[in-house]
C-alpha cells in the first residue's frame, strides 16, 4: 500500500505549552494530521483549576478554531471532588493527569501519595472523567553527583533508575484499577513490554497511549542525542518490538498519544542537562504511517490514530453526529512523494527541533 485515506487523527497526549511556544506548536497539530488534541496541564503554574483550564482552552482555540482541544487538570491538592464535578460539567475537560513528583518536565507539583486522592478518583469515576497516568516511579538520581545521596550508597533491588521506573510503577496501576474498576485509566506513553502486558491484563476501562517516537527509539539512540531524550526513556529493542506489536494489533486498548513535547533547541542540545521531550506534533501521523508501513501494517493505521482513542474517550467533535462519526475530516497519507522533516520550527529562542529532522516520511494531505 502506497497511499491511504483515513479520518483525521486524534492525538490523545500533547504538550502545547503557552506563549510563544504555543503559537509555534498549535499550527502544527493539523499539519501532523490531527483534528483533536488532548492537552496536558503541566504549564508553570500547573493547570489545577477549571477556570485555568477554560482560559487555556480559549487561548488554544483562538490559535486554531479548527482543532478540538480537550483539556486536562493537573492532579494536585487543589483538585477536590467538587472541582471534578465542576470540570465534568464544562464538557471541555475530559481528564486529570497524574505526574509522580519530579519525574519529568514541570512535575515538581506532582503526586507523592495516591491514597490521598482516592476521594478524587471516586468522583472521577462518578463523573466519568479519565485518569491519565505518567507511569513512572521517581528516579533516585539527581543532576549533582556529589549532592546525590544515592551516589555512594550500596544499590538495592528497589533502586529506581530510568530503565526500571515504568515497570516499578505498574503495581500502582493495577492497584488503582482494582480499587476503581469503573474509572477509565490511560497509562500514558508506554515504553516497555511489561507495561503493554499490564494494560492487557486489566479490564476494558484501562487503556494506553503509544507515542510515535517510541516505535523508533531504543536506549542506544537516547545516549548522546538529547533530541531523543524523553521520559520515560526509550528502552530495549525487545520493548520497542512489543510497542509496535500492540500499536498494530487492532486491540482498542492501544491508541495514539504522541506526547509531543517541544522544548527550545537551546534547552535540548546547548546544555549539560537536556530537557526531557521529543517534538513530534508536525509529523505525528507521518511517523506512525512510516513505521507501520515498515512492518506491513498500514491497514492498522486508521484504528490506531483515528478510532480507538475517540472511542475510549467517547469524544464527539464539532459537527459530528457521534463519537463514531469520524468522516467529517479526512486525510490522505502517501508514501510517494513523502515529506522531508524540516530542521526547525519557530524563531530565535523559541526554535524547536522536530524528531527525525532531515528524514523523509509519509506525507499527510487534508482532503
Q: Which residues of the shown chain bind its own copies in the complex (CB under 8 A)?
A: 139-141, 143-146, 150-155, 159, 161-163, 216-227, 229, 233, 236-238, 240-241, 244, 269-276, 290-291, 294-295, 353, 356-357, 359-361
262 contacts 21 by C-beta, under 8 angstroms: yes
DSSP 102-132: TSSTT-TT-BS-SGGGHHHHHHHHHHTPEEE
| Of 44 and 269, CB closest to its own copies | 269
Produce one character per residue of 265-282: b if its CB has 16 or more CB atoms within 10 Å, e if not: bebbeeeeebbbbbbbbb
Q: Whole-number minimum distance, CB 276 to its own copies, in Å?
A: 7
Q: Whole-number minimum distance, CB 107 to its own copies, in Å?
A: 15
| Of 68 and 280, CB closest to its own copies | 280
**Pairing of the two strands 93-98 and 3-7:** unpaired
Q: Whole-number minimum distance, CB 164 to its own copies, in Å?
A: 9
Q: Which residues make Cβ contacts (< 8 Å) with residue 49, sequence separation at least 6?
A: 73, 78, 83
Q: Whole-number minimum distance, CB 280 to its own copies, in Å?
A: 12
Report how far apart, in Å, the C-alpha atoms of 98 and of each of 214, 274, 331 are: 21, 23, 32
Q: Whole-number minimum distance, CB 139 to its own copies, in Å?
A: 6
Tell me the C-alpha distance between 38 and 53, whole Å.
Answer: 12
| Of 88 and 295, CB closest to its own copies | 295
| Of 37 and 230, CB closest to its own copies | 230
Tell me the C-alpha distance between 217 and 240, whole Å.
Answer: 7
| Of 260 and 290, CB closest to its own copies | 290
Amino acid at each position: 500500500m502506497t497511499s491511504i485515506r483515513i479520518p483525521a487523527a486524534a492525538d490523545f497526549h500533547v504538550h502545547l505549552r503557552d506563549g510563544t511556544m504555543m503559537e509555534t506548536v498549535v499550527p502544527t497539530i493539523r499539519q501532523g494530521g490531527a483534528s483533536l488534541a488532548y492537552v496536558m496541564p503541566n504549564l508553570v503554574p500547573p493547570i489545577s483549576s477549571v477556570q485555568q483550564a477554560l482560559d487555556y482552552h480559549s487561548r488554544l482555540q483562538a490559535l486554531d478554531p479548527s482543532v478540538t482541544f480537550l483539556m486536562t487538570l493537573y492532579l494536585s491538592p487543589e483538585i477536590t471532588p467538587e472541582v471534578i464535578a465542576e470540570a465534568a460539567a464544562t464538557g471541555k475537560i475530559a481528564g486529570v493527569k497524574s505526574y509522580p513528583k519530579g519525574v519529568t518536565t514541570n512535575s515538581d507539583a506532582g503526586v507523592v501519595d495516591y491514597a490521598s486522592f482516592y476521594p478524587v478518583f471516586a468522583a472521577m469515576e462518578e463523573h466519568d472523567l479519565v485518569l491519565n497516568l505518567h507511569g513512572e516511579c521517581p528516579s533516585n538520581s539527581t543532576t549533582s553527583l556529589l549532592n546525590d545521596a544515592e551516589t555512594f550508597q550500596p544499590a538495592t533491588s528497589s533502586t529506581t533508575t530510568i530503565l526500571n521506573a515504568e515497570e516499578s510503577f505498574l503495581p500502582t496501576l493495577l492497584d488503582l484499577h482494582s480499587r476503581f474498576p469503573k474509572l477509565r485509566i490511560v497509562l500514558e506513553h508506554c515504553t516497555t513490554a511489561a507495561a503493554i502486558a499490564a494494560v492487557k491484563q486489566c479490564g476494558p476501562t484501562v487503556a494506553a497511549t503509544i507515542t510515535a517516537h517510541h516505535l523508533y527509539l531504543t536506549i542506544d539512540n537516547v545516549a548522546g542525542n538529547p533530541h531523543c531524550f524523553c521520559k520515560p526513556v526509550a528502552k530495549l529493542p525487545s520493548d520497542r518490538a512489543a510497542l509496535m506489536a500492540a500499536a498494530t494489533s487492532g486491540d482498542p486498548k492501544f491508541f495514539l498519544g504522541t506526547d509531543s513535547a517541544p522544548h527550545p533547541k537551546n534547552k535540548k542540545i546547548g546544555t549539560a542537562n537536556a530537557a526531557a521531550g521529543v517534538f513530534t506534533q508536525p509529523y505525528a501521523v507521518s511517523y506512525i504511517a512510516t513505521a507501520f508501513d515498515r512492518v506491513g501494517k498500514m491497514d492498522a493505521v486508521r484504528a490506531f490514530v483515528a478510532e480507538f482513542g475517540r472511542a475510549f474517550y467517547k469524544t464527539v467533535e464539532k459537527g459530528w453526529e457521534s463519537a463514531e462519526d469520524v468522516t467529517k475530516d479526512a486525510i490522505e497519507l502517501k508514501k510517494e512523494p513523502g515529506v522531508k522533516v524540516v530542521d526547525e520550527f519557530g524563531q530565535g529562542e523559541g526554535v524547536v527541533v522536530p524528531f527525525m529532522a532531515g528524514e523523509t516520511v509519509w506525507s499527510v494531505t487534508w482532503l
